[in-house]
Amino acid sequence: MAMPIARCLPRLLPNWNHQLHFSRAPVKNGSCWKSIKNFRFGVGQGEAELGRAFTSQALQSIQASPLFDNSRYPFAEANRTNLQFLKHQGSPFCKRASALSNYRRCATASSTGIAEQASSQGENQMASSTPHNDESISYLSQAEASAIDELLMGELGFSIDQLMELAGLSVASAVSEVYEANHYRRVLIICGPGNNGGDGLVAARHLCHFGYKPTICYPKRTNKPLYQGLVTQLESLKIPFVLPEELPSKLKDQFDLVIDAMFGFSFHGIPRPPFDSLLRKLVAPNGKKAEEVGVPPIVSVDIPSGWHVENGDTEGTCLRPDMLVSLTAPKLCAKMFKGAHHYVGGRFVPPAIVEKFSVRLPSYPGHSMCVRISPTESQPVDIAALRLNYVGFELLEESAKKDPFEQFKTWFDEAVSRKVSEPNAMTLATASENGQPSARLVLLKALDERGFVWYTNYDSRKAAELKANPKACLVFFWEPLHRSVRIEGSVEMVSSEESDSYFHSRPRGSQIGALVSAQSSVIPGRHVLDKANEELNAEYADGKFIPRPAHWGGFRLIPEMIEFWQGRESRLHDRLRYTREGDSNGQKTWKIDRLSP
């Protein structure tokens, strides 16, 4: 059964265009280009003329192809089959108004592969309308991606090196958000000969400045000045280049992360040497997990190398990256991406592109060059596969402080210096009189040899549980340092003087908030809080003294046990437990034990 024209042209034309080096001149100077212009401006014979022109252009492309009678190419027979179909079917594929109307917007964007744009857009209705989870984000076909690039580098004034710089920076920024340099410092970037490889070279430079230690495998170098300049920049940073045969059989022996920048959305066919063997190094055998066979996490640039830009892994490469950084907007094959991390880097896309192609892009947070996309319901995150390899820190008995308070202060100061967000945030676990546990986050507000202090509403659930069962546990977690501290002990209320002092050190808004909130009580709606807050702000608008409410104050946990946990490689973590043994000459004494991870 013959393949519908709307499907056969997108599949054939990319091969014809690339293999024949199908130049723009025949299109712009021929009847096909003239018909396009006539259709756009409402002259000529309209759809019929356009259909005949597209059919003629496609037939000429096939018949002129040296591949047409060359049995060495797997799609030669497909060319012959679809040639017969074109002769018989001709222009009816152009009768779809949806496809043709898109031409009024897109015909000038790309002069190469015009017929592919028509069929792809008509078939997929700009293919980018699929909602991605709770946010609608565009997915681009190859024709759309090519047309956007042409417009960017045409009338919108972007240069290829500028776009490459923006893309590489986006990739490096996304990588640094997921794979931090202190855990994934050794990065292998495998670069292909085209623009995707150039993006990888730029990303390598930025990663080096971000604190990573990149190594580059760039086996098919080009003599184009742009790429030679990128290589010179990397060599000036003393970033090593390696050949494929110099890579270890198990990449994980030398690298913590691999960036796949071999092929982008314009690639077609089966990867050739040496990229075929490089791809095999990134694939775990059936039934094996990547880490079991020495494959580090993989980040693919724009699309996974070897994948078809629209149809995914049609060639059976079995490459399954852990992270995908889509550039400008996700391509259609991204719908088949099953990894844990999908980012988009395309903050440089001007409004003209958005308007012309009806592209829907995610909003970017702050000044970030990249944004994370949540997976769809059909692409759930593999929770079991989410893991970090903790490297870079250790906790040994000979370096640990003898006093756990001193050890805590040392770690706390390091968390502050590393700009950990709210390093004083701690989980407070309590239990009711009958043993029902509960936990919540509170903030450490004081620390001395007596214990750890926080403040709250004395009518809250946690306060009620502490009054009935004055035992609790605190847990700190400082993720960038892979450190956690767990503290168990008895709890007491702090003095009124301490509570007064801290209460009046708070911002006036927080003081009024303590008066407004009857914490943990059920209220009919937000309006209750807003109204009470408005009334109290009016009452104390003259700056008069705000008294501490009797139901608000502090608690102190007096430690009996403090455990320091330091994440280590292969889950062989360091755990040192301090247990209070008693007082000696007025001083607390502590026993230190190492616990098995």
CATH code where residue 438 lies:
2.30.110.10
201 and 256 share a domain? yes
Q: How far is CA 209 from the centre of its chain?
A: 20
Domain assignment present for residue 199? The answer is yes
Per-residue pLDDT for 96 more than 90? Answer: no
Q: Which residue has the tokens 């003898």?
A: 402
Q: In this structure, are 212 and 353 located in the same domain?
A: yes
- pLDDT attached to residue 65: 43
Domain contains 240: yes
Token pair belonging to 81: 């089959």
- Please say if the pLDDT value at position 66 is more than 70: no
- Spatial contact of 136 and 114, defined as CB atoms under 8 Å apart: no
**Confidence band (pLDDT; 50, 70, 90) for 225?**
very high
Same domain? 417 vs 562: yes
Percent of the chain whose predicted confidence (pLDDT) is above 90 = 62
- Report the amino acid identity of residue 559: P
Does the structure show a pLDDT above 50 at 276?
A: yes
16 and 35, same domain (yes or no)? yes
Model confidence at 397, pLDDT cuts 50, 70, 90, reads very high
pLDDT band at 40; cut points 50, 70, 90: very low
Q: Is 270 annotated as a binding residue?
A: yes
* pTM strictly above 0.85: no
CATH number, position 281: 3.40.50.10260
Burial class (CB in 10 A: 0-12, 13-18, 19+), 488: middle
Q: Tell me: pLDDT of 520 over 50.
A: yes
Residue 558: strand pairing partners: 490
Cα 205 from chain centre: 19
Residues 272 and 162 in one domain: yes
How far is C-alpha 425 from the chain's CA centre?
26
Residue 380 belongs to a domain: no
199 is in an annotated binding site: yes
Give 98's contacts (C-beta < 8 A, 6+ positions apart): 121, 122, 125
Tell me how far apart the alpha carbons of residues 234 and 204 are, in angstroms, rounded to a whole number. Answer: 8
Query: pLDDT > 70: what percent of the chain?
Result: 76
Give the pLDDT confidence score for residue 367 in this predicted structure.
87
CB atoms within 10 A of CB 520: 13
Say which range, 86-95, 171-180, 296-305, 477-486, has the weakest mean pLDDT.
Answer: 86-95
Q: Are 328 and 349 in contact (CB under 8 A)?
A: yes
Structure tokens at 567: 């994440």
> Which pair of tokens denotes residue 551?
């139901």
Lowest mean pLDDT among 65-74, 514-523, 587-596: 65-74
Mean pLDDT, to the nearest integer, of 4-20? 40
The residue from 354, 374, 394 where one domain ends is: 374
- Lowest mean pLDDT segment, chosen from 10-14, 321-325, 341-345, 498-502: 10-14
Q: What is the pLDDT of residues 557-571, one digit of tens each?
A: 999 999 999 999 888
Q: 51: pLDDT confidence band, cut at 50, 70 and 90?
A: low
Radius of gyration of the chain (CA): 32
DSSP assignment letter at 487:
E
Structure tokens at 182: 């202190």
Query: Residue 412 in 3-state DSSP?
Result: helix
Please give the C-alpha separations between residue 312 and each of 149, 172, 345, in angstroms, as whole numbers.
21, 24, 20
Task: Give residue 90's domain range.
Answer: 5-125
Same domain for 270 and 166, yes or no, is yes
Total structural domains within the chain: 4
Q: Are residues 359 and 492 in the same domain?
A: no
Are 300 and 323 contacting, i.e. CB atoms less than 8 angstroms apart?
yes
CA within 13 Å, CB half, 482: 21
Confirm whether 391 is domain-assigned.
Answer: no
Residues 206 and 350 in one domain: yes
Mean local confidence (pLDDT), 98-126: 34
Mean residue pLDDT of the chain comes to 81
For 180, the 3-state DSSP assignment is: coil
The mean pLDDT of 578-582, rounded to a whole number, is 90
Q: Are residues 573 and 531 in the same domain?
A: no
Tell me if 133 is assigned to some domain.
no
Tell whether 80 and 221 lie within a shared domain.
no
* The token pair that represents 214 in the structure block: 């990149």
Q: What's phi and psi for 332, nearest 5 deg?
A: -60, -35
Instruction: Decide if pLDDT at 376 tops 90.
Output: no
In a domain, 381, yes or no: no
Task: Give residue 453's pLDDT band: very low, low, confident or very high (50, 70, 90).
Answer: very high
Question: What is the per-residue burial (b if ≥16 Cβ within 10 Å, else e) of 417-443?
Answer: eeebeebbebebbbbeeeeeeeeeebe
Examine the pLDDT at 419 and tell me if it is beyond 50.
yes
> Is 269 annotated as belonging to a binding site?
yes
144: amino acid identity, one letter: E
Determine if residue 198 is labeled as part of a ligand binding site. Answer: yes
Residue 231 has pLDDT above 70, yes or no: yes
The pLDDT-based confidence of 1 (bands split at 50, 70, 90) is very low
- Asked if the model's pLDDT at residue 50 lies above 90, the reply is no
Distance CA 391, CA 255 (A): 13
Place of tokens 């094996």: 288
Q: Alpha-carbon distance 19 to 150, whole Å?
A: 20
pLDDT tens digits for range 457-515:
999 999 999 999 999 999 999 998 999 999 999 999 999 999 999 999 999 999 999 99
Q: How close are the terminal C-alpha atoms of the chain, in Å? A: 63
Please check if 268 is assigned to a binding site: yes
- Res 288: pLDDT: 80
**Joined tokens for residue 459:** 């009518």
**560 in Cβ contact with 548 (< 8 Å):** no
Q: Is 270 within 8 Å of 315 (Cβ atoms)?
A: yes
Ranges of H-type helices in 237-342: 275-281
pLDDT band at 528 (very low <50, low <70, confident <90, very high): very high
* Dihedral sign of CA atoms 25, 27, 28, 30 in order: positive
Same domain, 308 and 412: no
pLDDT at 293: 86
Going by pLDDT thresholds of 50, 70 and 90, the confidence category of residue 55 is low
Greatest Cα pair distance in the chain: 104
Mean pLDDT of 429-447: 96
> What does the pLDDT read at residue 23?
33
* 302 labelled binding-site residue: yes
Give the pLDDT band (50/70/90) at residue 61: very low
Q: What are the catalytic residues?
A: 571
Burial (0-12, 13-18, 19+ Cβ within 10 Å), 366: exposed
**Range scoring the smallest mean pLDDT among 76-90, 347-361, 429-443, 530-544:** 76-90
Residue 329 in domain: yes
Give the span between the Cα atoms of 172 and 184, in whole angstroms: 13
Q: Say whether 197 counts as a known binding-site residue.
A: yes
Answer yes or no: is 196 a known binding residue: yes
The rounded distance, in Å, linking the Cα atoms of 485 and 405 is 11
In a domain, 578, yes or no: yes
Q: Are residues 410 and 470 in the same domain?
A: yes
